[in-house]
Amino acid sequence: MTLSLETRLERLEKEARFEAWLWFQRFLESVTEQQLEDLATHWRWPEPMPPPLPIGASKLDRLDRQTLQKMFEQNEREFGPCVRIEPYNPNLPQSPRFREIVCKSGVKVWIDTTPIS
C-alpha cells in the first residue's frame, strides 16, 4: 500500500471516529441524570432510547469544528481511539440504526445513527 493511500485511509478512519464520538457526546446530553447514572453504574441503556437532539439543542452545536476536534483528540488521548465500528448488535434494543464502537481500551459504546433532520 502506498504512503498516500495509507494516509488517506488513516484520515478517513479518524473522521469516522470523530463522527461517532460526536454522536455519542450528543447522546449523553440527551439522557436524564438518572438514565446516565444507570448507564454508568449498571451499563443499562435507557428504554425507550431518547430521541436524538434536534440541531441547535446541543451545546456542541455552538462550537466550531476546530474546538470539537481538540475535544475529540483529548478524549482519544484519555480513553484511546476506537478501533472499529460494528453493525447492529442483537444485544441492543431492536433497531438497525444502532452502531457498536469498540475502543482500544475494550470499552464498547453503541450510538444511534438516525440522521437528524
Give the model's confidence band at 113: pLDDT under 50 very low, under 70 low, under 90 confident, else very high. Answer: low
Give the model's confidence band at 73: pLDDT under 50 very low, under 70 low, under 90 confident, else very high. Answer: very high
97, pLDDT greater than 90: no
Global confidence as pTM = 0.64
Q: Which residues pair with 103 in a beta bridge?
A: 82
DSSP state of 61: G
Picking from 100, 93, 94, 99, the residue whose alpha carbon sits closest to that of residue 114 is: 99
82, pLDDT greater than 70: no
Domain positions in the chain are 3-112
